[in-house]
């Protein structure tokens, strides 16, 4: 489901009219907000799982002399990122990659990533488009790409480099925290925000999927409440490094 007209953040505009591209949501904008605060002048930055490019474009716009690359496995997303970069008059390099595959190791001062993290069951897809399935499918407990994005980032960071992760709490939060603790010496939560669990609004979830996420929440695997028509959860911005 696409909204009418672009999303505006600060003085940037991002298109929302391609149903196969993850358009900016409050979680994306929270990550962008903190990325431009903590990334220093002249940093070499990768925005992985870039979607429409919001975080990488924000860094390119507001962090002076930054060198920004954006990556995604969805070619429709990369085309949207290219269009949004032109629309906002910034330069970013665009790479088709599954997370960090094929990129040069020890290359980046910062890696920002908002990984796919929605819990899926085999055979159930939340009724989203093919592109949005790619952008959101985190496996049975939502953690498959979250864990990979945490662990696999480390070899691509320069000495002293930092991972800036958007962690959706509708994925397996204990598993993500354990992976962060195991992989990095220093882990800090910079911010958190309550948000709607968007697949319920944008997709066509069946009762089996809704019962699945309720069961995960009951077990404490994910964090979600079900008091209104759209479940609520939390997203966190987490910074991790060996510094």
Q: What is the pLDDT of residues 103-148, one digit of tens each?
A: 999 999 999 999 999 999 988 899 999 999 999 999 999 999 999 9
Cβ 240 vs Cβ 187: under 8 Å: yes
pLDDT for residue 17: 86
Percent of the chain with pLDDT over 70: 98
Q: Give Cβ neighbours of residue 25 (< 8 Å, ≥ 6 apart).
A: 195, 198
* Class for the domain spanning 7-241: alpha beta
Sign of the dihedral through C-alpha 92, 96, 102, 106: positive
pLDDT for residue 1: 45
Give the angle 169-107-35 at the CA atoms, nearest 5°.
40
What residue ranges do the domains of the chain occupy?
7-241
pTM attached to this predicted model: 0.95
pLDDT for residue 123: 86
Q: What is the pLDDT of residues 176-213, one digit of tens each?
A: 999 999 999 999 999 999 999 999 999 999 999 999 99
Q: What is the pLDDT of residues 153-171, one digit of tens each?
A: 999 999 999 999 999 999 9
Two tokens, residue 32: 């962008």
């Amino acid at each position: 489901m696409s909204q009418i007209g672009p999303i505006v953040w600060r003085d940037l505009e991002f298109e929302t009219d391609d149903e196969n591209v993850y358009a900016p949501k409050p979680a994306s904008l929270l990550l962008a907000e903190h990325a431009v605060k903590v990334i220093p002048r002249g940093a070499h930055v990768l925005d992985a799982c870039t979607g429409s490019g919001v975080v990488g474009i924000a860094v390119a716009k507001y962090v002076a002399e930054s060198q920004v690359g954006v990556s995604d496995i969805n070619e429709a997303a990369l085309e949207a990122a290219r269009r949004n970069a032109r629309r906002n008059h910034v330069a970013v390099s665009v790479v088709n990659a599954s997370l960090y595959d094929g990129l040069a190791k020890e290359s980046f001062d910062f890696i920002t990533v908002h990984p796919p993290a929605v819990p899926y069951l085999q055979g159930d897809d939340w009724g989203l488009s093919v592109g949005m399935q790619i952008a959101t499918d985190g496996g049975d407990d939502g953690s498959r790409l979250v864990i990979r994005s945490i662990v696999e980032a480390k070899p691509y960071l320069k000495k002293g480099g930092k991972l800036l992760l958007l962690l959706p709490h509708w994925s397996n939060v204990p598993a993500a925290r354990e992976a962060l603790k195991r992989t990095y010496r220093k882990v800090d939560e910079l911010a958190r925000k309550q948000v709607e669990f968007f697949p319920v609004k944008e997709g066509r979830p069946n009762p089996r999927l809704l019962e699945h996420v309720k069961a995960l929440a009951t077990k404490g695997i994910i964090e979600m409440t079900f008091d209104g028509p759209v479940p609520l959860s939390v997203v966190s911005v987490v910074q991790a490094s060996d510094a």
